[in-house]
Structure 1
């Protein structure tokens, strides 16, 4: 059993043009090519079959609304429709444009109450907002009110059209000081500020860390900058580490193989693989 906390189906609704992410294609060229080289006649069917074969408990899909910054949208309606069509394995997080102010809060609440989405996705670098920007606090407060979690992009980004500083984990610390009851998954896991993110998670018991969009083997690679995740993630933070493949940035099976090769006690491995995500999702 495992939970994939980050995945994007290979369908047009999830894969529109996003020129601001062009540099990601350069950075992830090697692993993304492994995905495209294996595409069959029906990529969506192959995608679904992969998770069935691997016995995924849940797969988290995330909407995005970047209308005010980059004109890109993966709609809440499309995410909800995919989840309804393909069953309880698939869980959707809402995405709204915080630059819309109160309208964004209304839209988010409707996505949860009416569409059945289970959390909020905040990609601050794509909104050109730091994690603790005042525009985001009404959405964070609504998460608390609705008792749903939020996924917050943390760490650098590889877009050359927005600042890497929008993902600095010190801003997450300030959010948690004001809203300690907010349930947050910080993902990716904070590089190059991994130790700062670990400090935030140690300080705040409602902060989880998602190890997605990074090859798991790097957690055991000297001088990668990720090694501290393995040390703290098998000790004081072992109940708050969450696996994600970030497909199609990396093939799901390859991500799992590299993860299973990490030097983790069996019980801790099972927590990272799925139990921690279930706790974070409130399942």
Structure 2
């Protein structure tokens, strides 16, 4: 099974502002109008790339950016395609009632995790205003996918880009599963080191795996393997910011082309490739699945 662990729901103009779309696509070669993932386009991209399932993300940045991709919208898409979409809610801890909104999204809407955007909301992920949200996620047994690393959004606060800010959260919530988005780009080595210190942390390769030179991606994967955390990395694209078809092809190359890898490092083995491209995500989502949520049949927590 191939699972894209980081896909944005939402459509240009209907959800994203023109200003935000222009900023976010400025360095991608895309037009702002391409920052859109309507249902038919998303399913067609998945089919073309051979992707079985995606983690589909809500995105609450209304307080700062003036828009959101609502939890209800994501839940409706997941309800129509439960075999293809697993939905994550999004809440803003800078607004009252965030923890209650997360609980409602999981228990009433059937969503399976939480997406947070700390730097977009001009808040550290370790800001204490998040703590009742984390407590709720830990209580519900759902993972938290946190944006880490750079973003071209001009309203985002660069003080909160670093993945190392998440270490305090991991200390304070030892039972919480956290996925660091984008491998903390450009702080990828620090992100891997953080995973090595904190066993409940994971990271996804979205944007990093799609746009960095393949040799750079291979070097990061080799470092993760040597650090003992390759089995906690998840393939993802950040679609529609990057194509699934192109990223799948790049990842397949990393399983075959020795020339991309650092001296002394082998390409991805078949088990490593299959874990990275979906096996790890499948196990992670299955461990946190409960009846009524989109996802996979549940299995006992290890």
TM-score over 0.5 for the pair: yes
Other-structure match for 2:194: 200
* 240, 243, 249: which one aligns with 1:251: 243
Q: TM-score, normalised by structure 1?
A: 0.88
* 162, 171, 176: which one aligns with 2:165: 171
In 1, Cα distance between equivalents of 2:48 and 2:61: 34
Whether 1:47 aligns to 2:47 is: no
Other-structure match for 1:127: 121
In 2, Cα distance between equivalents of 1:133 and 1:180: 17
Q: Could you report, residue by residue, the CA deviation over 1:180-226 in whole angstroms, capped at 9, with x for unpaired residues? A: 211011011112211111111000111111000124473643xx5x5
Q: Could you report, residue by residue, the CA deviation over 1:118-165 in whole angstroms, capped at 9, with x for unpaired residues? A: 001001111111111111111111111000000001111111222222
In 1, Cα distance between equivalents of 2:225 and 2:122: 34
The answer for unaligned runs of 5 or more in structure 1 is: none
RMSD over equivalenced CA pairs, Å: 2.4
Q: Equivalent residues in 2 for 1:67-82 (5 A)?
A: 67-82=62-77
Deviation, 1:169, is 1.5
**Relative to 1, partners in 2 of residues 1:100 and 1:18: Cα closer, same or farther, differing over 3 Å?**
farther
Other-structure match for 1:86: 81
Deviation, 1:46, is 4.0
Whether 1:61 aligns to 2:56 is: yes
* 107, 116, 123: which one aligns with 1:113: 107
Does the 8 A contact of 2:6 with 2:238 survive in 1? yes
Does the 8 A contact of 1:149 with 1:184 survive in 2? yes
In 2, Cα distance between equivalents of 1:120 and 1:139: 9
Deviation, 1:55, is 4.1
Other-structure match for 1:104: 98
In 2, Cα distance between equivalents of 1:227 and 1:51: 24
**Relative to 1, partners in 2 of residues 1:228 and 1:129: Cα closer, same or farther, differing over 3 Å?**
farther
Q: Could you report, residue by residue, the CA deviation over 1:24-51 in whole angstroms, capped at 9, with x for unpaired residues? A: 211112xx36x95xx9xx9642431332
Other-structure match for 2:258: none
What SS does the corresponding residue of 2:98 show, helix, strand or coil? helix
Q: Equivalent residues in 2 for 1:228-239 (5 A)?
A: 228-235=219-226, 236-239=228-231
What SS does the corresponding residue of 2:55 show, helix, strand or coil? strand
Other-structure match for 1:209: 203
What SS does the corresponding residue of 2:6 show, helix, strand or coil? coil
The answer for unaligned runs of 5 or more in structure 2 is: 255-266, 288-295, 297-302
Does the 8 A contact of 1:21 with 1:158 survive in 2? no
**Relative to 1, partners in 2 of residues 1:217 and 1:7: Cα closer, same or farther, differing over 3 Å?**
closer
Does the 8 A contact of 1:125 with 1:167 survive in 2? yes
What SS does the corresponding residue of 2:65 show, helix, strand or coil? coil
What is the aligned length?
272
Other-structure match for 1:23: 23
Whether 1:146 aligns to 2:137 is: no
Q: Tell me whether 150-159 or 160-169 shows the greater mean CA deviation.
A: 160-169
Other-structure match for 1:272: 276
